[in-house]
């Protein structure tokens, strides 16, 4: 599968079966100091950075501590053979806006990446037997709101139009490194409705929804996805009130074959351009020589040098311990110490013999995505439970994901994968380790609540399950520090020029030669690839070229 290239380093043939198995220096004669860039951690963001750098001709070595690349973008058969579960993310909505995919900048689709766009986008059943379904069609979705309130339907249409008119501004900010181009407020100031948006962004999500929607079903629907990000009543969460409007255009795309197909395609692209990927290589130390970061050392004692740079996606809480404190500077250390986790999830994955069936007029509906939220009050209660460290199993807000409905390759014929994702704090009053004692009970409570809406999934339909508490989510990937699905809170204190901390938001770290990408950097977590592409922009600029140049050359 691998061969020695003319340039004298290990090269993996394009479109070869995925070469992400662990190699060691003993097995392959890779000179330890023969790479331009060493990448520590192989989440989708750092793989994207490495893909642009490899396209630019830099020799990249990517190291990951786990047996498989991808981090939160991974698929595995961990319940039963043939059932392909996404270990974390399933929907890649944010990536659709990334020029990497939108403009196919690197020809990624040639490496086995294909997306499915489920319709309906999401279905929300209510305890009173009613439901609201979001379809890819605006009129059809507005008709769903109109079942509850014609006024709310008109408001949804108006909010959708308002959001569409400024969406390009949010995208431009997300897909630019901090300091590259104008900041959000300046861009909004140039827009005809800029003042309206400046106020909206400063408001809370709840204020906007409460003031503009009269019916509680519609309000609950408008609160669906955002509770995973920040409490709806927090100031400066106003943009989340528009999350479902944004979702109407992007949908909730799924990679065919599993979320991990994205990471696999990126790995193939990197290998096809001379890169090497080694797994089971936890990085434990940064090598700093003459004040410059020149490489990394792994837990097994192996070390690797990058002649030009080291790129990390190691969580900043761990990174800071990998070089002497004085090298970071006090501002950086203070920024790390005050970093907040927030937003933790609780997941049970099932192998099942049939998909969830929700009652709708004239029969049942089996969507890929469904959302359960008892009402607006339950969403507001969420912040309180987190604050007091309580695992609340009363009417638990749940996200129900059954990818195999739209993608039969995920399970044996006629069978399905099912994920029930709830929201629970990592820091329980009794301490995070208490999760090991109560996780089965919480999982059962989630299943019981879910069955009120989808009674067909009785015990005989469940073949196997795997439960993961917020503590388990941290155990599977150290980048999910304290179980945080986005590596840390995405509130105003950790956003934009403050992510990961003031003064260090441009992917360049205080130690020369060291760059940072991933969810701890702007614009944060989720599968957007924005931190990855933005880091590539900064690094390429520092190397005397540009992302535009690389894309232009790669298209020739």
Ligand X SMILES: Cc1cc2nc3c(=O)[nH]c(=O)nc-3n(C[C@H](O)[C@H](O)[C@H](O)COP(=O)(O)OP(=O)(O)OC[C@H]3O[C@@H](n4cnc5c(N)ncnc54)[C@H](O)[C@@H]3O)c2cc1C
Q: Which helix (H) or strand (E) holds 351?
A: strand 345-352
Contacts of ligand X in 336-365 (CB under 6 A)? 345, 347
Residue whose CB is less far from ligand X, 53 or 88: 88
DSSP state of 524: -
Q: Which residues, including other chains, have CB under 8 Å from residue 107's CB and lie 6 or more apart?
A: 269, 554
Total residues belonging to the chain: 556
User: The dihedral of CA 224, 226, 229, 234: what is its sign?
Assistant: negative
Provide the minimum distance between the beta carbon of 342 and ligand X in the complex, in angstroms, as a whole number: 13
Nearer to ligand X, 187 or 522 (CB): 522
If one asks whether residue 506 binds ligand X (CB under 6 A), the answer comes out as: no
264 forms part of the interface with ligand X (CB under 6 A): no
Among 226, 255, 306, 525, binds ligand X (CB under 6 A): 525
Backbone φ and ψ of 552, nearest 5°: -60, -45
Q: Binding residue for ligand X (CB under 6 A) from 39, 58, 84, 94?
A: 94
Q: Token pair for residue 448?
A: 């019981």
**Closest listed residue to residue 179, CA positions, set 493, 516, 496:** 496
Residue 59 touching ligand X (CB under 6 A): no
Q: Is 36 helix (H, G, I), strand (E, B) or coil?
A: strand
Alpha-carbon separation of residue 159 from 203, 249, 450 (angstroms)? 15, 13, 30
Confirm or reject binding of residue 316 to ligand X (CB under 6 A): no
In whole angstroms, what is the distance from residue 417 CA to residue 75 CA?
11
Which x/- pattern, by CB under 6 A, does the window 217-256 give for ligand X? Answer: ----------------------------------------
By CB under 6 A, the count of residues binding ligand X is 37
Radius of gyration, alpha carbons of the chain: 23
Contact status: 63 vs ligand X (CB under 6 A): yes
Please tell me whether residue 51 binds ligand X under the rule CB under 6 A.
Answer: no
Q: How far apart are CA 237 and CA 205, in angstroms?
A: 5
Near ligand X in 133-152, by CB under 6 A: none
Note whether 526 binds ligand X by CB under 6 A. yes
Q: Is 523 in the site for ligand X (CB under 6 A)?
A: no
Give yes or no for residue 257 binding ligand X (CB under 6 A). no
Q: Does 65 bind ligand X (CB under 6 A)?
A: yes
Residue in 49, 91, 417, 443 binding ligand X, rule: CB under 6 A:
91
- Between CA 556 and CA 552 the distance in angstroms is 7
**20 is a contact residue toward ligand X (CB under 6 A):** no
Interacting positions 276-315 with ligand X (CB under 6 A):
282-283, 313-314
410 binds ligand X (CB under 6 A): no
| Shortest distance, position 246 Cβ to ligand X, whole Å | 13
CB of residue 199 vs ligand X: minimum separation in angstroms?
A: 28
The owner of tokens 């490496």 is: 111
| Binding residue (CB under 6 A) for ligand X from 60, 62, 72, 231 | 72
User: Per rule CB under 6 A, is residue 73 in the interface with ligand X?
Assistant: yes
Measured between alpha carbons, how far apart are the two ends of the chain, in Å?
A: 27
Q: Does 536 bind ligand X (CB under 6 A)?
A: no
x/- mask, ligand X, residues 479-498, rule CB under 6 A, reads xx----xx------------
Among positive and negative, which fits the CA dihedral 52, 55, 56, 57? positive
Nearest Cα to Cα of residue 356 among 416, 444, 422, 398: 416
Residue 60 DSSP one-character state: E
Of 69-77, 132-140, 167-175, 506-514, the segment contacting ligand X by CB under 6 A is 69-77
Residue nearer to ligand X on the CB measure, 188 or 484: 484
Shortest reach from residue 285's CB to ligand X, in Å = 10
User: Can you tell me which of 237, 417, 477, 516 binds ligand X, judged by CB under 6 A?
Assistant: 477
Choices 286-294, 331-339, 477-485, 506-514; region in contact with ligand X by CB under 6 A = 477-485
Q: State the maximum Cα–Cα separation within the chain, in Å, rounded to a whole number.
A: 72
**Is 518 near ligand X (CB under 6 A)?**
yes
Q: Does 407 bind ligand X (CB under 6 A)?
A: no
Q: Could you give the CA distance from residue 222 to residue 214 in angstroms, rounded to a whole number?
A: 12
* Strand residue runs (E) in 213-325: 254-255, 276-278, 283-289, 292-298, 303-312
Give the binding range for ligand X (CB under 6 A) out of 25-33, 65-73, 159-167, 382-390.
65-73
Q: Under a CB-based contact definition with an 8 Å cutoff, are residues 173 and 184 in contact?
A: yes
CB of residue 529 to ligand X, shortest distance in Å: 8
* Alpha carbon separation from 214 to 130, 208, 209, 233 (Å, rounded): 16, 11, 9, 17
For helices 150-174 and 243-250, angle between their N-to-C axes, nearest 10 degrees: 80
Instruction: Select the residue interacting with ligand X from 58, 60, 62, 66 (CB under 6 A).
Output: 66
Assess contact for 220 and 144: CB atoms under 8 A.
no
Binding site for ligand X (CB under 6 A): 40-45, 63-66, 71-73, 88-91, 94, 282-283, 313-314, 318, 345, 347, 473, 477-480, 485-486, 518-519, 525-527
């Amino acid at each position: 599968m691998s061969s020695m290239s003319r340039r004298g380093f290990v090269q993996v043939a394009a479109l070869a079966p995925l070469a992400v198995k662990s190699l060691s220096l003993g097995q392959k004669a890779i000179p330890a100091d023969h790479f331009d860039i060493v990448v520590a951690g192989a989440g989708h963001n750092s793989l994207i950075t490495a893909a642009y750098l490899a396209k630019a001709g830099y020799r990249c070595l990517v190291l990951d501590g786990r047996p498989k690349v991808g981090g939160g973008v991974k698929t595995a058969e961990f319940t039963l053979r043939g059932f392909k579960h996404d270990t974390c993310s399933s929907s890649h909505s944010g990536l659709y806006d990334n020029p990497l995919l939108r403009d196919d900048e690197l020809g990624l689709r040639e490496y086995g990446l294909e997306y499915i766009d489920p319709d309906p986008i999401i279905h929300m059943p209510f305890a009173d037997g009613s439901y609201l379904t979001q379809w890819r069609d605006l009129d059809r979705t507005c008709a769903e709101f109109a079942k509850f309130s014609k006024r709310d339907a008109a408001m949804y249409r108006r909010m959708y139009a308002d959001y569409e008119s400024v969406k390009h501004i949010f995208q431009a900010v997300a897909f630019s490194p901090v300091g590259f181009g104008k900041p959000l407020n300046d861009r909004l100031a140039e827009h005809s409705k800029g003042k309206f948006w400046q106020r909206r962004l400063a408001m809370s999500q709840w204020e906007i929804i409460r003031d503009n929607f009269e019916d509680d079903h519609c309000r609950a629907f408008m609160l669906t996805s955002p509770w995973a990000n920040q409490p709806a009543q927090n100031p400066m969460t106003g943009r989340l009130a528009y999350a479902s409007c944004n979702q109407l255009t992007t949908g909730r795309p799924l990679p065919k074959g599993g979320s991990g197909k994205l990471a696999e395609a990126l790995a193939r692209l990197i290998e096809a351009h001379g890169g090497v990927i080694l797994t089971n290589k936890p990085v434990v130390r940064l090598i700093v020589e003459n004040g410059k970061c020149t490489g990394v050392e792994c837990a097994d004692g192996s070390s690797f040098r990058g002649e030009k740079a080291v790129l990390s996606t190691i969580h900043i809480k761990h990174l800071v311990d990998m070089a002497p404190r004085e090298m970071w500077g006090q501002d950086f250390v203070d920024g790390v110490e005050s970093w907040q986790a927030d937003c933790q999830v609780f997941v049970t994955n099932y192998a099942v013999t049939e998909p969830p069936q929700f009652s709708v007029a004239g029969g049942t509906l089996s969507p890929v995505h469904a959302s359960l939220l008892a009402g607006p009050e339950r969403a507001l209660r969420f912040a309180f439970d987190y604050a007091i460290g309580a695992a609340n199993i009363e009417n638990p807000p749940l996200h129900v994901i059954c990818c195999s409905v739209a993608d039969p390759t995920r399970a044996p014929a006629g069978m399905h994968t099912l994920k029930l994702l709830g929201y629970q704090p990592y820091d329980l009053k009794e301490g995070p380790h208490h999760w090991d004692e109560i996780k089965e009970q919480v999982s059962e409570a989630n299943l019981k609540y879910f069955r009120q809406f989808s009674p067909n999934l009785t015990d005989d339909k469940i073949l196997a399950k795997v439960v993961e508490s917020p503590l388990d989510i941290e155990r599977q990937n150290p980048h999910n520090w304290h179980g945080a699905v986005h590596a840390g809170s995405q509130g105003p204190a950790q956003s934009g020029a403050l992510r990961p901390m003031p003064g260090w938001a441009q992917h360049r770290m205080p130690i020369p030669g060291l760059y940072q990408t991933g969810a701890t950097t702007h614009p944060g977590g989720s599968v957007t690839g924005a931190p990855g592409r933005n880091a590539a922009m900064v690094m390429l600029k520092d190397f005397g070229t540009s992302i535009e140049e690389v894309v232009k050359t790669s298209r020739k």
